[in-house]
A and B are shown apart, each in its own frame.
Chain A
Amino acid sequence: MTAEHSATGGRPVGRVRFMDAQRVNLDGFAVEDAGLGLVAMRSPYDPEPGLVIRDGRVVEMDGVPEDRFDSLDAYIARHGLDLAVAQEAMGLSDVAFARMLVSPDVPRSEIVRLTAGATPAKLARVLALLRPPELCQAMTKMRARRTPSNQAHVTNRLDDPLLLAADAATAAAFGFREVETTVPVLADAPSNAVACLIGAAAGAQGVLIQCSVEEALELELGMRGLTSYAETVSLYGTEQVFTDGDDTPWSKAFLTSAYASRGMKMRVSSGAGAEVLMAGADGKSMLYLESRCVALARAIGAQGVQNGGIDGASVAAAVPCGLRELMAENLMVMMRNLESCSGNDALMSESDMRRTSRTLPIVLAGSDFMFSGFGSIQRYDNMFGPSNFNAEDIDDFLAMQRDWGVDGGLRTVAAGRIAELRREAAQMCRAVYQHLGLADFTDDHVERAVDAAGSKDLGETDTLAVVSAAQAIRDGALTVVDVVAALDETGYEAAAERIVAMTAQRLAGDYLQTSAIFDERLRVLSLVTDPNDYAGPGTGFEPSPERQAEIDAIRQARGVEDLRAEQATAAVPLLAVAGPAGGGDGARGGGPGLDPREVVIGVSPAVGRDVWRCLSGLTVPEVLAELLAGLEEEGCTARVVRFNDTVDLGRIGLAAARLAGSGIGIGLQGKGTALIHRRDLAPLANLELYSVAPAVTPELYRLLGANAARHAKGGTPDPARNPYTDEAIEARYHTTVIALMALERAWVKPGAPPEELSLDGLR
């Protein structure tokens, strides 16, 4: 029994029970165990880097002689290494190589040249030396494409085509340049591909579509032009697991060429944890095994790699340095001069902090695709399993982009525009399905798909209709031309034109180059056309001013004018000026009131003008009515006086006290902050203060009024307590406070006298 348990007889103390109940403790954490491959960066069983070349042929690699090469070694040794630089690369010390990665003075091309001669073990050793900020620095330099981008998952539990179309349009509008779909029911795949093709075309030009299914079917959909890329061509780091996956390096190399022969972009998929999960890691570290995968990806001629854990991300996350390892995998791909699609596509923790911690460094550094599937739909609709970020997190991600001033590939879309695009996409999809005799959908179904936040909002749907539509697409050997013709004939000429233009662009083959995407004007951005030229501060990718404005303009941002308009909606014809504010009892023109039971409520300059609603949501007249009622209950009289020469609540309260017959004043700012003051106190002192304006209730304002009266009568009331909250109250209200104070400040006139306001309508 540990000491922490002993104090309470076997049960942890409350502090520990409280910690145990936090969500992070739902995650599994593994003891590092090299034997099982549960080790991130370096295992004692990893081989020593080494390369022996004889007569232009690799005869030993990473400690393994040629006659003992497994099939991965054999493929990498024959095709994956540039033997002309191998000696130079292998001769570099690990530290020297690692420093080159970080130094802005060493260009990307030099690292690429040297990496081509580095064996898998060498690269793993080098990358194990980089600390997290160094990984970020290296990734900023090494990614192939200058402009970062992002990929979305678009799926739902029902494979509902109208919802898929609406969600693909939404994803395209948000800025995702690739949309990946998959199916809970394999037979639905052709329907999903068609629905996403149509929807994405409604949302934006140039979005690449993938339908991740069994390889033969995926290739077939691509051959018919219904999809435009593939990425679930899996590689594994050991021969045993590779073979269990029913492939060899040669079959994968052939498949890679098969995709290219049909003009389809393709990347392979690997990542930490896959071998561990299959109990086939041979005691090797995750980073070393992945280094073999990435070397093989380059060797077979794939243009890119999806890695960074993928399905095994939580395996890496369970061991020490696991997140470092995931990022190092991505960097390794970039060093091999390949496109990186950087994972972040599996929910790796129940903790919001851990999953953010996993993703943030990659967003800051920038990758070809920061997510190999940001779940653009809700978690429950993600048929890949929940991604690390999902529809629940889109606003968070947009805020993160803005916070750090980085381009994560997404943008804000106006609510009205989302509605329009979803409607257009759902209607287009229905029209095409009807025109091609695939399925008939009702108006109600369209409306539900437009409005749905997820498939649970669709109600009962006919899932058999989807299966038969998919069957009809397959049996009829429908191609993208049929979809284009159907769109055209049902009145959606613009979308038809878009798909034709993209299909034609694909024939130019430029998008088969490394890291290629289409931008919204159908220009290819790739290693070739948009190479990363980062060389330290002041170089490399910077969002254009237009793009920066897009990143900055999240829909929640508010300015002073927004607030002025919002305040105006609460304006009422009360609080008119009743006259100059001298003493009470008719002694106008100077000196305090004479009634010892008189309390003055001083209000700030914009009250009754531009400011009508407090942060709590109560209106200013409602608050004044409560204060007056509290004073009255205790037998005091009151006046309301507006002070025009200051916004400072202490000075307002003190000035009010000095006007009051009792010498007690209440200060109230339009935002709702309130205090009790006495005429002989210093300005910054007070008797009672409500500083947390958003949380003050009517009852508390009434109590403040009553307590002011008790002070006026010479009593010592129990002070009212500030309401406290565990919410991020400052985050929520500070921008509003700044705008409210700007409205107040605008009415300040130095030397302007106070005015008494009418109490009509306040009691």
Chain B
Amino acid sequence: MTEVRALSGRPVGELTLEAVRRGEIGLEDLRIHPDTLERQAAIAEEHANPQLAGNLRRAAELTRLGDEEVLAIYAALRPGRATPAELTALADSLAGRGLPRCAALVAEAAEVYACRGLSA
């Protein structure tokens, strides 16, 4: 198995108290790496839960976004917040930035929200 790394690229083995003392550890060293999530997705799939795998793969994509943008997308998906066009635009933007699974989720929301009166 390949060595586990934090989002920063630092191997997990280097996350030690000594490193904290040297002031080397930042927030990026505490964040999970997308490869780790992908590996866990494969394990979830092997254990009869493809939906959990799908979630972890969406999560792998989201590691590329900052906290504020993640929260903003969540807000846009809440009922009555965004128009179908806004959601579609958001989906396109995510797709264009290499987050196809998240884009598909938002695109599907745009379609269903329009039918169910959940759009702005």
Interface residues of A (CB under 8 A from B): 70-71, 74-75, 78-80, 82, 109, 112-113, 116, 215-216, 219-220, 223-225, 239, 243, 246-248, 250-251, 253-263, 298-303, 337-338, 479-481, 484-485, 488, 493, 496-497, 500, 503-504, 506-510, 512-514, 527-528
Interface residues of B (CB under 8 A from A): 4, 6, 12-13, 15-17, 20-21, 25-27, 30-33, 36-37, 39-40, 43-44, 47-56, 58-63, 65, 67, 70-71, 73-74, 77-79, 102, 105-106, 108-109, 112-113, 116, 118
Which residues does chain B contribute within 8 Å of A508, judged by CB atoms?
4, 12, 36
Q: A301, A303, A488: which contacts B20 (Cβ < 8 A)? A: A488
Inter-subunit contact A337/B55 (CB<8 Å): no
Give the distance in Å from the alpha carbon of A510 to the alpha carbon of B42 in the complex. Answer: 12
Inter-subunit contact A248/B79 (CB<8 Å): yes
Known: A248-B78, A250-B109, A300-B55. A507 touches B16 (CB 8 A): no
Chain A residue nearest to B25 in the complex (CB)? A481
Secondary structure call for the A interface: helix
Inter-subunit contact B30/A254 (CB<8 Å): no
Q: A75, A263, A301: which contacts B32 (Cβ < 8 A)? A: A263
**Apart from the given pairs A262-B32, A507-B6, 20 other A-B contacts in the complex at a CB distance below 8 Å:** A78-B108, A116-B48, A220-B67, A225-B30, A243-B118, A253-B55, A254-B105, A258-B62, A263-B31, A298-B51, A299-B51, A300-B51, A300-B55, A301-B51, A484-B17, A485-B20, A488-B21, A500-B17, A500-B20, A509-B4
Q: A74, A79, A223, A263: which contacts B67 (Cβ < 8 A)? A: A223
Q: B32, B61, B73, B105: which contacts A507 (Cβ < 8 A)? A: B32
Known: A243-B118, A257-B62, A261-B62. A79 touches B51 (CB 8 A): yes
Inter-subunit contact A248/B51 (CB<8 Å): no
A selection of 28 A-B contacts at a CB cut-off of 8 Å is: A75-B112, A79-B51, A80-B51, A109-B48, A112-B48, A219-B67, A247-B79, A248-B118, A257-B59, A257-B62, A257-B102, A258-B62, A259-B59, A260-B58, A261-B58, A262-B31, A263-B30, A301-B52, A480-B30, A500-B15, A507-B4, A507-B31, A507-B33, A508-B36, A509-B4, A513-B40, A513-B44, A514-B49
Inter-subunit contact A71/B112 (CB<8 Å): yes
Give the distance in Å from the alpha carbon of A338 to the alpha carbon of B106 in the complex. Answer: 25
Inter-subunit contact A504/B15 (CB<8 Å): yes
Inter-subunit contact A512/B78 (CB<8 Å): no
Known: A78-B108, A248-B79, A263-B31. A509 touches B39 (CB 8 A): yes
- Residue of A247, A485, A504 contacting most chain B CB atoms (<10 Å): A504
Chain B nearest CB from A302 CB (Å) reads 7
Give the distance in Å from the alpha carbon of A246 to the alpha carbon of B26 in the complex. Answer: 34
Known: A220-B67, A503-B15. A250 touches B36 (CB 8 A): no
Inter-subunit contact A507/B12 (CB<8 Å): yes
Inter-subunit contact A251/B37 (CB<8 Å): no
Chain A nearest CB from B75 CB (Å) reads 8
Give the distance in Å from the alpha carbon of A485 to the alpha carbon of B22 in the complex. Answer: 10
Which residues does chain A contribute within 8 Å of B4, judged by CB atoms?
507-509
Which residues does chain B contribute within 8 Å of A481, judged by CB atoms?
20, 25-27, 30
Known: A71-B112, A216-B71, A258-B70. A512 touches B56 (CB 8 A): yes
Inter-subunit contact A496/B55 (CB<8 Å): no
Inter-subunit contact A528/B102 (CB<8 Å): no
